[in-house]
Amino acid sequence: MPTLFRFLFILAVIAGVIYGGMVALVVLVEPKDRDITVRIPSERLNPPPQQ
């Protein structure tokens, strides 16, 4: 049984480190706002008439 507890403890520590990293990213990293321009070819907006 001690091996099972050790395994579960290691999994809990790994999960805690991952969770802590995600919380740190949310708290410490601020996204930068910027404008995005996407050029669409006119052929896609106004397709030529089908014959």
DSSP 46: S
The more confident residue out of 49 and 24 is 24
Q: pLDDT at residue 8 above 90?
A: yes
pLDDT, residue 49, reads: 77
pLDDT digits 0-9 by tens, 15-41: 999 999 999 999 999 989 999 999 988
**14: pLDDT confidence band, cut at 50, 70 and 90?**
very high
Q: pTM (2 decimals)? A: 0.57
pLDDT, residue 40, reads: 85
Give Cα separations from 6 to 11, 12, 17, 19 (angstroms): 9, 10, 16, 20
Instruction: Report d(CA 14, CA 21) in Å as an integer.
Output: 11
